[in-house]
Copies of this chain bind each other. A is one copy, B any other.
Amino acid sequence: MTGNVTDIKSSWVDMIYHLQDTICHALESADGKASFREDLWDRPEGGGGRTRVISGGDVFEKGGVNISVVHGNVTDTMRSQLKINGASWFACGLSLVLHPVNPFVPTVHANYRMFELYDESGLLIDRWFGGGTDLTPYYLFEEDAIHFHKVYQKMCNQYDPAYYPLFKKQCDDYFVNTHRNQERRGIGGIFYDYQKPVAGKDVWHWFNFGKDCGHAFLDAYLPIVEKRRSIVFNDKHKHWQEIRRGRYVEFNLVHDRGTIFGLKTNGRTESILMSLPPTVRFEYDHKPEPGSAEDELLQVCLHPKDWLGNVISEEDRIAWASKSNSC
């Protein structure tokens, strides 16, 4: 068991390092101008990370592809806020956010992580996986939304046909500015958390699912970048992008569990807040003109669509959820 645990842990860490390299290399090639700046950091309480940020590119105005490999004792805050019981923990994951210059190129976010919990003697008592990728366009191109979702549907279907509809819905349900009439921050993607082995799905099932979804990011996102990066935009488009970026800030700082928890528990602030957009506008009571391209985007954020028209029934969803080991 211990050997097995070590295998999974070190294999996941290796996978995450490799994923960061692969993604950064592809993004630099796509950008063609900017390259990533790397900051290695140590966490005083244990572990550290490799933060890579990009700015001032031809495509990417600001972005980061960060990994962290951290561990520590379970604190009172973790016990009360995360309902975590154990003596110590380990976490390793990759988190990326890219804010493009061009308002016709969407912002994108991805995060893939593994969490382990140990008892007083250091024995593994729990382990789970989480992750997701979601797209935040400023202007809606339905074919882009369909392409993005199709990549993840295909990936999910290789593991379980129930995953895509479930994780798509979980994504729509998570990235929500509840204080803005349930407005989603974008057109979704997939989101899953607390996934553990169940009958027929061992730990490697979830390991490989995270790995494959992580690598699918480039297929999901880069074709959209290539299609939209050369569209001519004006101040009006940039203005709308900055208004929507304001909503991104609101979600990340008010609602995102990872961001808030990180900021309140002495996480590395600069790495956590690399997710915030470079330039942002907040205007009182801003409303796009009904029927405009801006309003079209807003409407799909208010009313999430099943882009692939392939909806699992509510009964199947509940049946699957009750089988799964989520907490």
Residues of A within 8 A of B (CB): 37, 39, 53, 55, 62, 64, 178-180, 242, 246, 249-250, 253-254, 260, 263-264, 267, 269-270, 273-274, 276-285
Contact of A254 among B178, B260, B281, B283 (CB under 8 A): B260
Other 20 A-B pairs with CB < 8 A, given A276-B282, A280-B281: A53-B285, A55-B284, A62-B283, A64-B284, A178-B263, A178-B264, A179-B269, A242-B279, A246-B276, A249-B249, A249-B280, A250-B253, A250-B273, A253-B253, A254-B260, A270-B285, A274-B284, A278-B282, A278-B283, A280-B280
Q: Give every chain B residue within 8 A of A55 (Cβ-Cβ).
A: 283-284
Complex contacts, A273 vs chain B, CB 8 Å: 250, 282
A278-B281, A282-B277 given as contacts; is B62 within 8 A of A264 (CB)? Answer: no
Among A277, A278, A284, the one with the most B-chain Cβ atoms within 10 Å of its Cβ is: A284
Instruction: Check A284–B62 contact: CB distance below 8 A.
Output: yes
Residue numbers in B under 8 Å from A64 (CB-CB): 284
Distance A283 CA – B269 CA, assembled complex (angstroms): 12
Bound-complex Cα distance A114 to B309 (A): 52
> How far is it, in angstroms, between the C-alpha of A250 and the C-alpha of B262 when the chains are bound?
13
Copies in the complex: 2
| Whole-angstrom CA separation of A96 from B100 in the bound complex | 34
A270 contacts across to B, CB distance below 8 A: 284-285
B254 A284 Cβ-Cβ under 8 A: no
Provide the residues of chain B in CB contact with A283, threshold 8 Å.
Answer: 55, 62, 278
Say whether B279 contacts A281, CB under 8 Å: yes
Chain B residue numbers with a CB within 8 Å of A246 are: 276
Contact (Cβ within 8 A) B280 A279: yes
Q: Which residue of B lies closest to A285 (CB)?
A: B270
Q: How far is the CB of A144 from chain B (nearest CB, A)?
A: 25
Closest to A271 in B: B284
A-B contact pairs, 24 of them (CB 8 A): A37-B284, A39-B285, A55-B283, A55-B284, A62-B283, A64-B284, A178-B264, A179-B269, A180-B269, A246-B276, A249-B280, A249-B282, A250-B253, A250-B273, A253-B254, A254-B254, A254-B260, A254-B263, A270-B284, A273-B282, A278-B283, A279-B280, A280-B280, A280-B281
Q: Known interface pairs A180-B269, A249-B249. Does A282 touch B280 (Cβ–Cβ under 8 Å)?
A: yes
Residues of B within 8 A of A267 (CB): 179
Question: CA separation between A55 and B285, bound complex, in Å?
Answer: 12
Is A279 in contact with B279, judged by CB distance below 8 angstroms? Answer: yes
Contact B179 A263 (CB under 8 A): yes
Q: For residue A281, which residues in chain B have a CB less than 8 angstroms away from its CB? A: 278-280
Interchain CB contact under 8 A, A284 and B253: no
